[in-house]
């Protein structure tokens, strides 16, 4: 009997080990770098949480150019990694090819969508989180002028800007919103010097709050705002800690949760394809308030954010999505 029990325990241990061995997660980041303190780093944090909780390691790759994404995705899939996460809309066409070549591999695409039976697409309602940031910026501004610095000039980044502008104008109809995009290639995500230059230009025009939706380029935006004693707004990850007392808030996208859930679902045999679209209601986006920015958030501002959040979730406020028509309404 004792021997039988030992045999059962041994088999159970072997089964658990085999199950864990079947999970070989991998991530291909966007070109901004793993430690951009923004979008990519949020994905990294989700993967690290999974590794810490389960003991299951993962592999990752940081492309430095636009052509390396497809190579990395195919390399991971060919070596049996599963699931494989593509952390950027930039890898959409690459993933479309690779996912078709490896139909038994589970893939995740973050920030875009593909209708394939082995791909989970995770998108976010950045316009909703940005709307709340716009409300805060309009209340915080003393000049009635606020700014926005985007990374690569693509519709997704204009979706951020449009939500921000709509929130600001709903709060102060007379507010002026400046906007600049950093560039038209992937390099626009990793140019903090240019981000700082664009921010200084907006400050010189009177902007006293500047929102960065630009990956690592945004680090230059936040630094320049702090150097000039103006306010900034971070993006994707909670960046309030980078310049306490200067970062008004951060529009957080739960990319970490998307990665963690994908790894966990694959481990538990619960991975499903399809499109997930995460907004305020799903806790997929939010504005960060913590000890680093609490002194900047007045009771009036907090009340306005709470009301706007509730109204968006209830559907009373419908924040226009730039991606639906490539336009931002001006009234």
Work out the average pLDDT over 46-64.
97
For 72-113, the pLDDT digits (tens) are: 999 999 999 999 999 999 999 999 999 999 999 999 999 999
The lowest-confidence range among 62-71, 192-201, 321-330 is 62-71
Q: Which two tokens stand for residue 167?
A: 């929130």
Nearest to 91 by CA among 119, 129, 50: 119
The confidence score (pLDDT) of residue 102 equals 98
For 179-236, the pLDDT digits (tens) are: 999 999 989 999 999 999 999 999 999 999 999 999 999 999 999 999 999 999 999 9
Could you tell me the end-to-end alpha-carbon distance of the chain, in angstroms, rounded to an integer? 79
For 121-172, the pLDDT digits (tens) are: 999 999 999 999 999 999 999 999 999 999 999 999 999 999 999 999 999 9
Q: Are 255 and 236 in contact (CB under 8 A)?
A: yes
Can you tell me the distance from the alpha carbon of 102 to that of 288, in angstroms, rounded to the nearest whole number? 39
The full set of domains in the chain, from first to last, is 2-125+256-278 (3.40.50.2300), 126-252+286-324 (3.40.50.2300)
Q: Can you tell me whether residue 221 is helix, strand or coil? A: helix
Q: Are 87 and 61 in contact (CB under 8 A)?
A: no
* More confident position, 284 or 6: 284
Can you tell me the distance from the alpha carbon of 121 to that of 85, in angstroms, rounded to the nearest whole number? 10
Which residues, 6+ apart, have CB-to-CB distance to 66 below 8 Å? 31, 90, 185, 186
The C-alpha angle 257, 15, 1, rounded to 5 degrees, equals 140
- Global confidence as pTM: 0.86
Can you tell me the distance from the alpha carbon of 60 to that of 80, in angstroms, rounded to the nearest whole number? 14
The confidence score (pLDDT) of residue 69 equals 95
pLDDT tier for residue 18 given thresholds of 50, 70 and 90: very low
């Amino acid at each position: 009997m004792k021997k039988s029990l030992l045999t059962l325990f041994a088999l159970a241990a072997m089964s658990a080990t085999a199950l864990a061995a079947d999970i070989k997660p991998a991530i291909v980041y966007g070109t901004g770098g793993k430690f951009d303190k923004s979008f990519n780093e949020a994905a990294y944090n989700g993967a690290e949480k999974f590794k810490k909780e389960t003991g299951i390691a993962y592999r990752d790759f940081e492309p430095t150019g636009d052509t390396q994404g497809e190579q990395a995705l195919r390399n991971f899939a060919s070596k049996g990694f599963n699931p494989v996460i593509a952390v950027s809309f930039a890898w959409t066409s690459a993933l479309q090819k690779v996912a078709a070549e490896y139909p038994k591999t589970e893939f995740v695409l973050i920030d875009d969508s593909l209708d394939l039976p082995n791909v989970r697409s995770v998108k976010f309602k950045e316009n909703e989180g940005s709307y709340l940031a716009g409300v805060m910026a309009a209340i915080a501004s003393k000049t009635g002028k606020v700014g926005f610095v985007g990374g690569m000039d693509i519709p997704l980044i204009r979706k951020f800007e449009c939500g921000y502008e709509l929130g600001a104008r709903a709060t102060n109809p007379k507010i002026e919103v400046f906007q600049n995009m950093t560039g038209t290639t992937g390099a626009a995500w990793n140019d903090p010097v240019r981000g700082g230059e664009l921010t200084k230009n907006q400050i010189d025009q009177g902007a006293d709050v500047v929102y960065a939706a630009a990956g690592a380029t945004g680090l230059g935006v936040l630094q320049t705002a702090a150097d000039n004693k103006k306010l900034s707004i971070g993006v994707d990850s909670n960046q309030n800690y980078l310049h306490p007392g200067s970062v008004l808030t951060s529009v957080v996208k739960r990319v970490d949760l998307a990665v963690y859930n994908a790894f966990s679902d694959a481990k538990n045999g619960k991975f499903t394809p399809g499109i997930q679209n995460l907004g305020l209601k799903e806790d997929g986006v939010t504005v960060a308030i913590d000890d680093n920015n609490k002194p900047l958030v007045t009771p009036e501002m907090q009340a306005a954010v709470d009301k706007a959040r509730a109204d968006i979730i209830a559907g009373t406020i419908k924040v226009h999505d730039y991606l639906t028509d490539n336009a931002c309404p001006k009234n």
